[in-house]
Amino acid sequence: MRKLLSVLLVIVMLAGTSVTVGAAYDFSLSQSFLNDETFLLGDVNGDGSVNAVDSYSIRTTLAGIATDAIDLDAADFDADGKCAAPDSYSLKLCLSGARSTADFENGKQIYKLTVGGNDIKDFSIVLNEGITDEDNSYLAALLLKKYLKELTGAELPICYGTPVSERAIYINELDLFSEEGQKYGVEGLRYEVKNGDLYIIGTLRGTMYSVYEILERYLGVRFVSNEATFVYKNRVVDIPEGTAEEIHPKVTFRVARHTFGERGALNHYLANKLNGDYISSYDSKRYGTLTGPIYSNAHSFYEYWKMGNGTYPENTEGMTEVQMLEAKFASGDYPDAYGWQPCATDGNVYKKLFTGMLECNRMGMLWGNTPFIDEGVTLFSFSILDNQHYCTCRNCTKISRNEGFSGLYLQLYNKAAVDVQEYYPGVRLMGIIYAKDYPKTIVPDENLVLLYCGVSCDNHILGMEECYEKGGQLNGMKNDSDIEALNFWGDLCVENDAELWFWIYPVTYHYYLCGCPNIPNLYYSTKYLIDECNVTGLFYEGGGRTYNFETLKAYVSAQLMWKTDMTYDEYCDMVKEYLYINYGDGYEELFEYIMMQTEAGDRCGTCFINNYDRPGDMYSYEYLAENYEEMRGLLEAALAKAGTPEQRGRIETLLVCCDFMALSSLHTDWYVNGNNVELYCERYDWMLEYIWSHDMVTFSDQPLYPVPDKIDYETNPMVQFYENGSRRPGVTP
């Protein structure tokens, strides 16, 4: 099973302890390495033991009469990349007791690493003259040094200008504003093996990304969580002469929130090539800088209005500039976040918002959020609030009647995008769009990024026809309104040198025992946004708990943002690989379980949106009732194959969620009608005891729907936990 997965994905993964390298950087951010054995030296037939059968398999293979393929890694005792007579002899020595297979191991995940055929031990890492520990290429060198030592045992020296060894890994950080640097932009990269040396080229982020790419593609590393980095075992790895890879990311703004927090940014967030906000302590040039708003992300009018309405203290003697700004901000009042949007045509309102933007972002800079404006990575947010209370005064109505509410606020964004150039030439503004309409004549300024917030339906794939044929979600909205608007905005932004970003919401928001069944949809919707709608930035909404594959969703979304040419088969392989890493050898059963969850969502027969609709609106109770035993059997099979307590715990949590949904679907049949009372009570007891003993949080606002404090067989679990499972009549008992 492991061999098959390894072949499918053409790579491998790691284990060890935290390492600190370089005084300027903290590499001890709770990172542990998870070793995957992949193969056992000498076990050439993969049956889990080394014996005479393996010796026979090697001999028959060498004689050309073998009928079954052998595991080359397991047979390659001398680590020369092939199975030959010396390997057969070494195995015989081990079987006779004269030697041990441990004599042919070095305790590392990669026994032998070569670059262009040259042993990695013969290399040094060479940086440009003048590079300091504040530059990204220095960080790239430290990362490479750290992982090479962990994976191979080789500790390469770092030098400047001239190598101190026979062979070299040259890390060339280009000036972004040079002629060559402009070809790569902020984060383009190139690496190649030429004349036996490895060359890594990039500007702000490219050298760092190159290191992570090489670690993933050739050395078998997977950056799967904040805490753990997974590495396959390889006998021999060669990055061959002539290797050449050049990457220019199609998606320039990439955020996936869930589990990708500031903690572990080096070994998880940045390692997965995420470059957006929420890691403000990593926004210096040493980390390649970030792309995104410097002070406030979404709904920034909320804070700008407070600052714009504030007043400076009467006596500012002895106060620093940042203290004065903080005092002014504290003196203002927040607007109503749920019932207010600013007037888009009142000059006094605009002045307060614009002044508030300048002063809030100035305050952010003084806090240490470095504004890399010249490099084109820093934005100021200038965005409406998350509600539909758009201004309807006479002047605003005149504009919105012809241009829609999107056009109404677009003209406000445009004005600020032009005016801000007087203070910060080259800075771009990011403005959010919530309305599904679009303007007739108003076009975005070239210094504007529009962040479109969708989707209208989470059950159907963007760009597909199913959604149009359904009745829409409870508020009547369907994806066709998003599709029409997205195609319009995408073309308009391209025509006017602006950018379109998209805020995607696949996370399970509130009902944590009932994960939103949309994992296959993620692939197709993301591809549609990038390939058809000219979207160049993606913000994956995260949050909640990790009970129902939520971390999987965030991980594969991050990968899709970077590997935009991924096929659906490759996507499925990536999902299975993640399941294998986190849940163990039962990854195939878990993948099938995910597909059945998805089918249960499809069979609900309607559209839904997962931050509004309830579990009964997102799943077919009939499908869950009919397929409960099969779905639970898949989880039980995966649990039996789990290899660690952590893997077992994750699968047990899935079992709790499976039982909750199914027992809610079967309450009338099994308990009320008495068709399976004993099993119903047994499963219910186990489920609730597990929730209690593991302090599971079952709802986003736990005081609203607290975990039941007693067993109640008479009440449907959905009603007992969540009051009701649906807003649609007749769905939930």
Burial class of residue 556 (count of CB atoms within 10 Å of its CB; 0-12, 13-18, 19+): buried
411 CB-side CA count, 13 A: 21
Report d(CA 716, CA 724) in Å as an integer: 9
Give the three-state DSSP class for 54: helix
**Per-domain boundaries in the chain:** 2-34+112-250, 52-104, 267-388+417-573, 595-722
Of 269, 170, 268, residue with least CA distance to 223: 268
- The contacts of residue 126 (CB under 8 Å, 6+ apart) are 158, 159, 160, 161, 162, 163, 168, 169, 170, 171
Written as six digits, the tokens of 691 are: 């929730």
H/E stretch holding 458 reads none
Between CA 684 and CA 210 the distance in angstroms is 51
pTM score of the predicted model: 0.93
* Residue 189 bridge partners (DSSP): 202, 247
Per residue, the 3-state secondary structure of 90-141, as one string, reads HHHHHHHCCCCHHHHCCCCCEEEEEECCEEHHHEEEEECCCCCCCCHHHHHH
Chain CA centroid to CA 82, Å: 38
Cα 432 to Cα 415: distance, rounded to the nearest angstrom: 15
Q: What is the number of other CB atoms lying within 10 angstroms of the CB of residue 401?
A: 10
Sign of the dihedral through C-alpha 385, 722, 696, 670:
negative
Q: Which residues contact 368 (CB under 8 A, 6 or more apart)?
A: none
Residue type, 617: D
For residues 718 and 733, what is the distance between their CA atoms, to the nearest angstrom?
Answer: 9
DSSP label at residue 268: I
d(CA 660, CA 665): 9
Which residues, 6 or more positions from 359, have their beta carbon under 8 angstroms from its beta carbon? 307, 308, 325, 328, 329
Is the sign of the CA dihedral 302, 558, 280, 176 positive or negative? negative
- DSSP SS3 for 680: helix
Q: Looking at residue 374, what DSSP letter applies?
A: T
365/424 Cα distance (integer angstroms): 13
Q: Residue 317's CB: how many other CB atoms inside 10 A?
A: 5
- CA pair distance 407, 434, nearest whole angstrom: 11
Residues of the chain with pLDDT under 70: 1-30, 67, 259-263, 277-281, 466, 468-476, 729-733
Are the beta carbons of 658 and 553 closer than 8 angstroms? no
Q: Of 686, 687, 663, which is closest to residue 676 (Cα–Cα)?
A: 663
**Which one-letter amino acid corresponds to residue 36?**
D
Angstrom distance (rounded) from CA 658 to CA 14: 32
CA distance 305 to 349: 9
| Maximum pairwise Cα distance, the chain | 94
Q: Using the structure block, give the residue that is written with the tokens 């391209």.
A: 494
Residue with tokens 């009320």: 672
The DSSP code sequence of 389-451 is ----SHHHHHHHHHHHHHHHHHHHHHHHHHHGGGTSTT-EEEEEE--S---SS----TTEEEE
| Whole-number Å distance between alpha carbons of 360 and 307 | 7
DSSP string, 443-456: ---TTEEEEEE--S
158: β partners: 125
Radius of gyration of the chain measured on its C-alpha atoms: 29
Q: What is the predicted pLDDT for the residue at 729?
A: 67
Continuous segment of H or E residues that includes residue 234: strand 234-239
Inter-CA distances, 715 with 403, 658, 664, Å: 52, 18, 9
CATH, domain 2-34+112-250, list 3.30.379, 3.40.50, 3.30.70, 3.40.640: 3.30.379
Closest CA to 254 of 277, 276, 269: 276
First CA to last CA distance, the chain: 43
Closest CA to 270 of 184, 203, 208, 202: 208
From the centroid of its chain, how far is CA 689?
A: 32
Please say whether the dihedral angle defined by the alpha carbons of residues 185, 186, 191 and 197, taken in this order, is positive or negative: positive
* pLDDT for the residue numbered 22: 40
- Contact of 711 with 720, CB cutoff 8 Å: no
Give me the residue label for tokens 């030439």.
425
List the one residue out of 282, 226, 231 whose CA is nearest residue 257.
226
Report the number of secondary-structure helices (H) and strands (E) in the chain: 22, 19
The answer to whether the beta carbons of residues 245 and 239 sit under 8 Å apart is no
CA-closest candidate to residue 449, choices 255, 273, 293:
293
3-state DSSP assignment of residue 232 = strand
Which residue in this structure is represented by tokens 């932009």?
Answer: 185
Residue 669 per-residue DSSP state: I
- DSSP 8-state class, residue 515: -
By CB neighbour count within 10 A (0-12 exposed, 13-18 middle, 19+ buried), where does 368 fall?
Answer: exposed
